[in-house]
Amino acid sequence: MQLLTPELVLSAYSIGLFPMANDRDDPVIHWIDPLHRGVLPLDRFHVPRRLKKVIRQGRLRLTVDTAFREVIEACAEATPGRPRTWLNDDMISLYVQLFERGHGHSIEAWQDDRLVGGLYGLALGSAFFGESMFSRATDASKVALVELVARLQIGGFTLLDTQFVNDHLKQFGIQEITRTAYKARLKAALQREAALPRTPGSFARTLIEHRGD
């Protein structure tokens, strides 16, 4: 059994590492330092036209930091398309502790008071480390991501780390950069302060309306 502490995890993130388990029931934690990293440019974040329509319709109610444990538990659930998860119970407990200390954040998407999607991650300096997302309704996690980016922009963040590149994130303009380039950006981001706004309301809608498209 590995002894993880919030301090150890924050220290690891600050030098470009992040933890993963092989499965929910696997107690072993692996520290990952990939050769290439996925980042979403906050100043050039792309919102697909169809998703803009969904956001304007307002079918989903969005909140911030109101159901962190519920979000991470949902992210850890096995699904038909993802039978294994990289979150084990120790890691879930650890991220909840980081949330209680102000470093963890979640975006929640609701339909009729039912949690249907969301995401969570960690904030350190002006860097936000996106960890995982889930969706139980069409576009719920995508809308939550746009909400996150809108709030990161307003809050003064300069780096949104997605760890890896995948097809789901390509539609938003994700970039793959080298480990060296990532750590340079991370170092700069850690030297600045930022804060995720928790004000109620849809920042995502404000973002797309401000762009005028």
State the Cα–Cα distance between residues 211 and 56, nearest whole angstrom: 13
What is the pLDDT at residue 82? 62
Task: Give the residue from 47, 38, 39 showing the smallest Cα distance to 165.
Answer: 38
What is the pLDDT at residue 167? 85
CB count in 10 Å sphere of residue 185: 18
| Range with lowest mean pLDDT among 73-77, 81-85, 116-120, 132-136 | 81-85
CA 166 to chain centre: 14
Please state which architecture CATH assigns to domain 34-82+103-211. 3-Layer(aba) Sandwich (3.40)
Say which residues have a Cβ less than 8 Å from residue 102's Cβ, sequence separation at least 6: none
pLDDT digits (tens, 9 = 90+) for 128-141: 999 999 999 999 99
State the Cα–Cα distance between residues 93 and 33, nearest whole angstrom: 22
pLDDT digits (tens, 9 = 90+) for 90-130: 899 999 999 999 999 999 999 999 999 999 999 999 999 99
The highest-confidence range among 22-31, 151-160, 204-213, by mean pLDDT, is 151-160
Q: What is the mean pLDDT of the chain?
A: 92
State the Cα–Cα distance between residues 14 and 147, nearest whole angstrom: 25
State the Cα–Cα distance between residues 91 and 19, nearest whole angstrom: 8
CA 129 to chain centre: 6
Tokens of 43: 């100043």
Tokens of 148: 């996150």
What is the pLDDT at residue 200? 82
Contact (Cβ atoms closer than 8 angstroms) between residue 204 and residue 150: yes
What is the pLDDT at residue 183? 98
What is the pLDDT at residue 1? 43
Domain ranges across the chain = 34-82+103-211
Structure pTM?
0.93
State the Cα–Cα distance between residues 16 and 179, nearest whole angstrom: 8
